Amino acid sequence: MITLYNTLAREKQEFKPITPGVVNMYVCGMTVYDYCHIGHARMVVVFDVIARWFRESNYKVNYVRNITDIDDKIIKRAAENGESIGTLTERFIAAMNEDFAALGIVRPDHEPRATDHVGGMQEIIAKLFDRGLAYSAPNGDVYYSVRKFQGYGKLSRKNLDDQRAGERVEVDVNKQDAADFVLWKSAKEDEPAEVKWDSKWGSGRPGWHIECSAMSCHHLGEHFDIHGGGEDLQFPHHENEIAQSEGAHGHQYVNYWLHNGFINVDNEKMSKSLGNFFIIREVLAKYDAEVLRFFILRAHYRSPLNYSDVHLDDAKNALTRLYTTLKSVPAAEVQIDWAEPHAARFKAAMDDDFATTEAVAVLFELALHANKHAGTAEGVQAAGLLKALAKVLGLLQRDPSTYLQAGASDSEWTSEKIEAAIITRKEARAAKNWAESDRVRDELTAAGIVLEDTAQGTTWRRV
């Protein structure tokens, strides 16, 4: 039995799929006008692991993660760059795929783009007009009438009257109510033709919220199991999705809402305005991608995650300990027996709202057991189970030496340079030039490279 924390209910609930044995899951994806940041990394790693665990639990998973390729920010950035919308978005989609592949993300079953679903968005808007929930404004935009939808605020627990009482800005004169949100934006003369679609409300483009309602409905139906995303999307995005989808179709939209927590940087929320904003490829220039994935999974997905070099270094050292075990103790090919005590604890953790913190702790228990029984069949089995369970989380699947010798992309100490230094040291030792031998070792040690002399020769790893 899998339980998960449903934001809509504010409690853990047993997962009961609409169709037995099937999980239909939609997750809000990227708006592709810039490189992905570490907040995006957390979201995609979290839901990658959730999809992996459902599949490991013998569910058929239909995982949809959209791409927003039409948006105000995209139009603005393309204009600033002097390039077309398509050129901008294709470049950043390619960069996104590179970053996510490095993080070991399994591609979703469907990755719809907003621009391919404008017709579906228009159909939903037409239904909202039929139900009296949409209206045309004097400026040509189409808005959703929030106060006419009885359930508005049920996800975020926000009260419309409380919001009005706290207003500090002048209300948009085109809206009937300050909380109303745009469904369709009328075309502007200075906008390129590629962001204009014909509609019964005039030439224009969709608002952001309606995009996800249309794409999720197209791929998963009007009612599906799980909708996920970052905590920052609860309001207004997900709240507005519910209003649109349930307003148009007249029934429940999603059964379970899952939200991952924020990333903080040195205990402050990450934001561009604070200057503590990190894109994924900046981090991967300094740290191995598996270290970043491991760092994310050591925390529970709903908890705030504090990002700093100190925490990344700690994650690197911890992951190195696991790989060092697999280098020292050969891993048997293991078919997981979920009744085995370590595997059972791992499963219990993952079944309990995807508690990767406890699941990772089980990996360290297995590493300790494997090291304790190194050179025995028991140790080999423990190492095999360690690797098999880690695979469920997308970890520890590389050759140990490959990981232990991997360095940051900007490191001056390449593998070739290290191997050349080892040869220089070997020649110095053969000539009994101990001073030169020690000099080479000390230089490598200072660069964070450890030499290990064995009967088979000298090997090395990074610290």
Identity at 201, one-letter amino acid code: W
Cα–Cα distance, 175 to 156 (Å, whole number): 22
User: Is 37 one of the annotated binding-site residues?
Assistant: no
User: Which residues lie closer than 8 Å to 37 by C-beta, 6 or more apart?
Assistant: 270, 277, 278, 279, 280
First-to-last alpha carbon distance for the chain, in angstroms, is 40
Contact 318, 291 (CB under 8 A): no
Looking at the chain, how many residues does it have?
463
Amino acid at 455: A
Residues 321/323/329/330 CA torsion (nearest 10 deg): 170
237 annotated among ligand-binding-site residues: yes
Q: Are the C-beta atoms of residues 381 and 332 closer than 8 Å to each other?
A: yes
| 241 assigned ligand-binding residue | yes
Dist. CA 365–CA 358, nearest whole Å: 11
Q: How far is CA 27 from CA 65, 304, 366, 391, 405, in A?
A: 5, 19, 33, 23, 35
Q: In whole angstroms, what is the distance from residue 161 CA to residue 163 CA? A: 5
At 316 the three-state DSSP class reads helix
Nearest by Cα to 12 from 218, 258, 261: 258
Nearest to 364 by CA among 334, 395, 408, 338: 395
Among the listed residues 290, 284, 396, 276, the one whose alpha carbon sits nearest the alpha carbon of residue 334:
396
Q: Would you give the DSSP letter of residue 298?
A: T
Compute CA 133 distance to the chain's CA centroid, rounded to the nearest angstrom: 34
Helix, strand or coil, per DSSP, at residue 325:
helix
The verdict on whether residue 369 carries a ligand-binding annotation is no
Alpha carbons 84 and 367: distance in angstroms, whole number: 52
Helix axes 434-446, 415-430, angle to 10 degrees: 160
What is the chain's percent helix, strand, coil content, to nearest 5?
A: 45, 20, 35
The C-alpha angle 55, 219, 293, rounded to 5 degrees, equals 45
Is 231 annotated as a binding-site member?
no
Distance CA 383, CA 389 (A): 10
Quote the distance between the C-alpha of residue 130 and its chain's center. Answer: 37
Pick out the residues of the known binding site: 28, 212, 237, 241, 272
Pick out the residues of the known binding site for ATP: 272
Pick out the residues of the known binding site for Zn(2+): 28, 212, 237, 241
